[in-house]
Amino acid sequence: MSKPERESAGLDDPYTRSSDFLLPPCGVWATLRQLGPGIILVGGIVGSGELIMTTRLGAIAGFGLLWFVLLSCFIKVVVQAELARHTISSGETFLTVFNKLPGPAVRRPVWLTLSWMSVVLVASTIALSVYVQLESVWKTWWIAAAFAGVVVVAAVLGGWIISRNFGHAHAGLSSGEVRSRRPRVNWFTWLWLASMLLIFVNSAAILGGAGQAVEMALPDWFGENGSAVWAIILAVVAASLLLSGTYSVLEKTLIVMVVTFTLLTVVCTVLLQWTGYAVTWADVRHGLSMSIPHPMSTTLGLTALGMFAGTGVAFGEMWIYTYWCVEKGYARNVGDTLAGPQWAHRARGWIGVMYADVLVTMMIYTVTTVCFYVLGCAILHTGNIDPEGPQTISVLSTAYSGSLGNWAATLFVVGAFFVLFTTVLAGVAGTSRLMADALAVIGIIDSSDYHARLRFIRVFVVVSLAMSCIAYWLFQDPPAMLAVTSALIGALMYPILGLGVLYLRHCRVDRRIVPGRLATVWLWICGISLALISPGGVLLALAIENGWILIGK
């Protein structure tokens, strides 16, 4: 069958399964050739968690939290794999699966349309822009006024949409028939939609970091706000690449970028041993002693939470990884769910390929994470240097010049640009797929219409990059932006992900392909840990900030 014929038959839609299938690979080399989603994931992880947050945590805390960094890398892998297991075996996307979690759900309201969401997004952006420009004395009052204003705008627009659609959009249909045509939207989907503003701020921090790297290489081209201008230029470049490229192009591009910067970081860390910043076994023992740095401040607590949320497989990467597994073809290769052992054998085989992909990914990001943390501890913490604000990347470059000499700062700038720009590409590509899938889940587009999905993926690429540019222009402090947004979203999402995968494991996965006993025990440990660590950390940071408890003071 020719490619046009395959496209017209829907066979090239990775989100749709049929009776066609592909047998899983046999042997190590054949399996390695099928890897790829994890590399895109690494591209999305390294920029936010490892380069910025992990290095800053090392600068603030020293070696004392090395154990927490390793915990962040190891504890999320099994949760990531269990989410992907369900997607591969069922063919359902992440949002489709979590929209079916137990709990409150309602029919999608008539007013929940693209027009409504667009206007509310613009109104929220305007309110935030005014808030940032106000003097401190007015900011407390503006929060309440801005919130009330956005609510009023949303209510008025919603009423107008209802009145416009009522009477002619559904002429001839009973109210029950109209309601039945709108899918049910559960509590998680509402929560995810509400978190999108914070996700844009998180993405803006990475885009801004890449802009700072270019500003260091080409200083004074655009004056005081040079990094913000470069961020806009990079957003245009990223949009050009993402709008014209495909999954395979993205995968190959990220492989080159990730491997280059990972090797550079490992070399810099090893060469520390021949400088005055050499790491001793005493440092390593202290880092693995499960101790807590003293004194424990709010800044340290939020930075540690931001690192936990952004390193390893962060909550966003857990979501997005399932979509990369779909687009790589893992779910489609399994074919429609059938009775009998053949389907179960194929499903276990492709799940095994996914596990190999997950483990290779874990090894890469664990090595880079530890290297970034060691560089932050050995050089920045020793020199009492805290990377923050518009000079974040400039300050981080001292971690390289300190180990290799001044020439390494230039090398770092090039590497930092690649790793941050890779994160921009991977993050925006993944987020746009999530947002397009959200439209399918809530019934704005047909989930089986692949061309509509692709069209909205491209639209959301532009929207995501535009919102990231605006958010960075307003704040221009990547570490603070990442610490706050990652901590808040992580406190909301990690408990849902941790407990959600336990529900999937015991209530939704086909009994023929459930994980073994050891994997299930580890899944329970990790799921409960994710449910407790982030919310507990936020409460701890609030308690320290308000003086309710004192640690080390």
Query: Is the CB of residue 530 less than 8 Å from the CB of residue 79?
Result: yes
Domain assignments of the chain as residue spans, ordered by start = 11-49+59-108+183-287+314-477
Q: How far apart are CA 421 and CA 1, in angstroms?
A: 39
What is the Cβ-side half-sphere exposure of residue 444, based on CA atoms within 13 angstroms? Answer: 18
- Distances in Å between the Cα of 501 and the Cα atoms of 129, 305, 308, 325 are 38, 22, 19, 17
Out of 1.10.10.10, 3.30.9.10, 1.10.1660.10, 1.10.4160.10, the CATH code matching 11-49+59-108+183-287+314-477 is 1.10.4160.10
514: left (phi over 0), alpha (psi -120 to 50) or beta: beta
Q: How far apart are CA 202 and CA 331, in angstroms?
A: 29
Reduced to 3 states (helix: H, G, I; strand: E, B; else coil), residue 446 is: coil
Amino acid identity, residue 446? D
- Residue 95 exposed, middle or buried by CB count within 10 Å (0-12, 13-18, 19+): buried
DSSP string covering 511-543: GGG---HHHHHHHHHHHHHHHHHHHHHHHHHHH
Q: How far apart are CA 310 and CA 297, in angstroms?
A: 20
pLDDT tens digit at each of 553 positions of the chain: 333 334 444 447 788 877 777 888 888 888 888 887 877 777 666 655 566 778 778 888 888 888 888 888 888 888 888 888 888 888 888 999 999 999 998 888 888 888 888 888 888 888 777 776 666 656 566 667 777 777 788 788 878 877 776 554 455 544 444 455 688 899 999 988 888 877 777 777 778 877 887 887 777 787 777 788 888 898 998 888 888 766 666 667 667 776 777 777 787 778 777 777 788 888 888 888 887 776 666 667 767 777 776 666 777 788 888 888 888 888 888 888 778 788 888 888 898 889 888 888 888 888 888 888 887 788 777 767 666 555 556 666 665 555 555 666 666 667 677 777 877 888 888 889 999 999 999 988 888 888 888 899 999 999 989 888 888 887 766 666 666 666 677 778 888 988 999 999 888 888 888 888 888 898 999 889 888 877 777 676 666 666 665 554 4
Which residue intervals of 245-336 are DSSP H helices? 247-271, 281-287, 298-310, 315-328, 330-334
Confidence (pTM): 0.80
Question: Cβ contacts of residue 81 below 8 Å, gap of 6+?
Answer: 354, 355, 358
Tokens 């968690």: give the residue.
49
Q: Which two tokens stand for residue 353?
A: 């390929």
